[in-house]
Amino acid sequence: MADQWQDVGAAEALKTTPVREVRVGSGVVALTCKDGEFGALSGTCIHVGGPLGQGTLEGDNVVCPWHYWKFHRVTGECPYPGNRVGRHDVKVENGRVLVAVEPATRPGRTKHEPHPLAREPERAPGPVRVLGISTTVIDPRHPRYSTSESLLESGLVAARERGAETRLLRLASLDFRHCEGFYSKSARACTWPCSITIMDPKDQMEQVYEGMVHWADVIVVATPIRWGAPSSLYFKMAERMNCIQNQITIRNRVLLRNKVGCFVITGGQDNVQAVAGQMLMFFGELGCVFPPFPFVAHTRGWPAEDMENNVRHVQESADLREGAAELVCRAVGMAEVLLKTDVSRATVSRGGRKAN
């Protein structure tokens, strides 16, 4: 290339920002400055393509804004051996910063085994599998009676009596981080499996992902009503499930295809319809289908502040336990039909939305 150096600006002006994007040739470079000395790296992170020039400088490392991978600001080397981004030579002449158009080194990334969750969902032979998820917020050291979880357990008992396999996940017993908003940075920044799960081996949201995507045919979610909405733990889980929905958006890949969802909703005050509507919409957007009458609910109405009576009512109500059992059995019956129907490769258009 005839002009191998490109003028990217005045040195004094560029020194004011530790990391910035500059265009060099046909690409983007992450230009850094520390103690008056410049460095230049490829502007694209080797992880999933995050914009390094929009990142931050920690010590001598550029930190990718998407998933926090780090690269030495001059050499491009990553703390994980074998991983690096390309670097560009940079110099200052006559008060101007010049960056070499061609990189001095090429990027590199070590091969590694994909995360176990990344495998293609493939149902193993066996009876219908029912995953119950309790979203009640309870301190495990000081347990109390949960009306929603109690009815959920009645439904799981009925499923087992029908021949299904069951699992129960109590979100209150799982240690998992809040969603950190990778999707808000870019749709491509929200990965499957969730980047938090990949980066943090202690993150127990993995159990929810494994159960929903790879194991269950039926997903039964139980929640109390909290100020007219599902529990805070429900929303904490739902936000972390954006990585499941985003696979539809960016890859047209439905991870919860042909899975049946249903819900148990209880509360001291009313707003059952709004809670059920939110849950139906959310799980519908993930690809779930629903049986007739897809939720069972209980509330004694807005004036009922005597919660001890609400608990006693649920404990003593054979109708509610029967309703929960019938709900889960309807879902199991629907799953049995779906398992006999080969619709795994069907393409479903999403009205008003499309995959990129």
Same domain, 224 and 88: no
Same domain, 228 and 179: yes
Give the predicted TM-score (pTM) of the model: 0.88
Phi, psi of 165 (to 5 degrees): -90, 145
pLDDT over threshold 90, residue 277: yes
Same domain, 131 and 278: yes
pLDDT of residue 351: 61
Cβ-based neighbours of 182, under 8 Å, separated by 6 or more: 66, 67, 189, 190, 191, 195
pLDDT of residue 309: 84
Share of the chain above pLDDT 70, in %: 95
Same domain, 220 and 268: yes
DSSP state of 189: G
**Does any domain span residue 37?**
yes
pLDDT band at 1 (very low <50, low <70, confident <90, very high): very low
Distance CA 219, CA 249 (A): 22
- Where in the sequence is the domain holding 170, given as residue range(s)? 116-339
pLDDT of residue 343: 61
Q: Which of 181, 241, 232 is nearest to 205 (CA)?
A: 241
Helix (H) or strand (E) holding 241: none
**Does any domain span residue 111?**
no
Q: Which of 270, 67, 105 is nearest to 185 (CA)?
A: 67
Distance CA 124, CA 214 (A): 9
**Does any domain span residue 170?**
yes
Taking each helix axis from N to C end, the angle separating 147-161 and 318-339, rounded to the nearest 10 degrees, works out to 50
Q: Indicate the residue type of 330.
A: R
Distance CA 199, CA 194 (A): 9
DSSP state of 47: T
Distance CA 33, CA 31 (A): 7
Q: How many residues comprise the chain? A: 356
Same domain, 92 and 44: yes
**Does any domain span residue 295?**
yes
207's tokens: 């159990």
Same domain, 90 and 144: no
Residue with tokens 């009458």: 293
Q: How many structural domains are present in the chain?
A: 2
**Does any domain span residue 334?**
yes
Same domain, 39 and 138: no
Judge whether 129 and 165 are in contact, CB under 8 Å. yes
pLDDT band at 352 (very low <50, low <70, confident <90, very high): low
Q: Which of 293, 289, 297 is nearest to 327 (CA)?
A: 293
Distance CA 232, CA 240 (A): 13
Return the CATH number at 26: 2.102.10.10
**Does any domain span residue 302?**
yes
Residue with tokens 């400088």: 57
**Does any domain span residue 107?**
no
- pLDDT tens per residue across span 295-351: 999 998 878 778 788 888 899 999 999 999 999 999 999 999 999 986 655 456 666
Distance CA 305, CA 145 (A): 17
Domain boundary pick from 73, 100, 127: 100
Helices (H), 242-306: 242-251, 272-285
348's tokens: 């479903």
Q: Is 81 exposed, middle or buried (0-12, 13-18, 19+ CB in 10 A)?
A: exposed
- pLDDT tens per residue across span 157-177: 999 999 999 999 999 999 999
Same domain, 24 and 83: yes
**Does any domain span residue 86?**
yes
Q: Indicate the residue type of 147.
A: T
Tell me the β-bridge partners of 221: 133, 263
300's tokens: 């004694």
